[in-house]
Amino acid sequence: MGEAGRICGIVLAAGAGTRFGGPKALARTPEGEPWIARAARALRGGGCDEVVVVLGAEADAAADLVPDGTRVAIAADWAGGLSRSLRVGLGAAAGADAAVIVPVDTPDLPAAAVARVIAGAARAPLARAEYDGRPGHPVLVRADHFVALADAVTGDGGAGAYLARHGALRIDCSDLWSGEDRDRR
């Protein structure tokens, strides 16, 4: 267990990836490694006790890319936006003391950023990485915020507004990587 108790990593990978040219759940590095596998490895390596990948668009094909020992949760209504995937992920994390959330489109996320954000959970129930002053991922949410966060998100909105409203601890990870997500191939 991490400092936050039992931690569930959540990879949000349900969207159609319209700007990307297809579902990011199917994306691979130039070397052929699935982004899903990279995200799961970063979460595990950073201190998550278990990992759940939320799939939607092309779920059957993407499920083949999910590494062994990683659970899959399906967001059947994924087309309704990011909020639908986030709700499914938080539901799949029920029973955990906290969740660390990352989108699949951050394939360069290092485990060290996950570990740093988890360490911040000792000081705050909500925490998020920041890069040169910009909020980013990973995001940590303690279980006592799961329901309220799920209720607060709508459409394609993520957790950002909720985290800001509730004073999430911002943890600088600029020295670890850029924090950039990939919207285009």
| Tens digits of residue pLDDT in 76-130 | 999 898 999 999 999 999 999 999 999 999 999 999 999 999 998 888 999 999 9
Instruction: Tell me how far apart the 2 most distant CA atoms of the chain are, in Å.
Output: 40
- If we measure between CA atoms, which residue out of 87, 106, 100 comes closest to residue 27? 106
Average pLDDT of every residue of the chain: 93
What is the chain's length?
Answer: 185
pLDDT in tens, 130-164: 999 999 999 999 999 999 999 999 988 899 999 99
Tokens of 74: 């399906």
Helix 111-120 vs helix 35-46: angle between axes, to the nearest 10 degrees?
Answer: 40
Sign of CA dihedral 61, 65, 71, 75: negative
The backbone torsions φ and ψ at residue 100, rounded to the nearest 5 degrees and listed phi first, read -110, 120
